[in-house]
Amino acid sequence: MAGYRKLGRTSNQRKALLRNQVTNLLYHGKIRTTEAKAKEIRRITEGLIALAVKEKDNYETVTVQAKVARKDKDGKRVKEVVDGKKVTVFDTVEKQIQKDNASRLHARRQMLKVLYPVTDVPKEAAQKKANTKSVDLTKKLFDEIAPKYADRKGGYTRIVKIGQRKGDAAMEVLIELV
């Protein structure tokens, strides 16, 4: 007996489908799919959330010096002439950053093996590249999802049966984060 459902697809198609649905589940919080797919998605998602819960506080805060371009009142960079060339003026600023410890970094890389990159497009800028921003799902897992489930020992997802699909009578379900 196999340790997973094949879902009637080749291995690379199946892996891509599951990665896509896990990414969408973590980004949106719930998705609608068939029961067999939902049970496979649950396995992967629960593992990722458990990894995030385990490593959520495993970092150190470090103060670093960073060079930042000086800006005028309009938000444009300030330039001055040095040796006949226009050069941007930089200020040194101290910043607090989170530096992952080794096990958290490994967990982040394990998550990135599963999750696809997500680009958020605002509704008013649909069909345009302007104002799109990349969403860091691993950061969302560590900062938003993991603290929510910190006191929970598992069971991070819920599968609710909706009914049979009209076309092929497959059982449809709603899988959501609890």
Going from N- to C-terminal start, the domains of the chain cover: 11-58+101-177
CB distance 93 to 2 below 8 Å: no
**CA 126, CA 121: separation in Å to the nearest integer?**
6
**Reported confidence tier of residue 122, pLDDT bands at 50, 70, 90:** confident
Q: What is the DSSP string of 147-163?
A: HHTTT--S--EEEEEEE
Quick one: average pLDDT of 129-145?
Answer: 89
Residues whose CB is less than 8 angstroms from the CB of residue 154 and which lie 6 or more positions away in sequence, other chains included: 46, 50
Question: Percent of the chain having pLDDT more than 70?
Answer: 98
Among the listed residues 149, 178, 172, the one whose alpha carbon sits nearest the alpha carbon of residue 55: 149
pLDDT at 75: 86
Read off the pTM: 0.83
**Reported confidence tier of residue 126, pLDDT bands at 50, 70, 90:** low
Return the structure tokens found at 100: 């992952």
Return the structure tokens found at 177: 């984060």
Question: What architecture (CATH level 2) is domain 11-58+101-177?
Answer: Alpha-Beta Complex (3.90)
**CA 45, CA 94: separation in Å to the nearest integer?**
37
Task: For tokens 């196999």, name the residue.
Answer: 2
Among the listed residues 178, 175, 150, the one whose alpha carbon sits nearest the alpha carbon of residue 25: 175
pLDDT at 136 over 80: yes
Mean pLDDT of the chain: 92
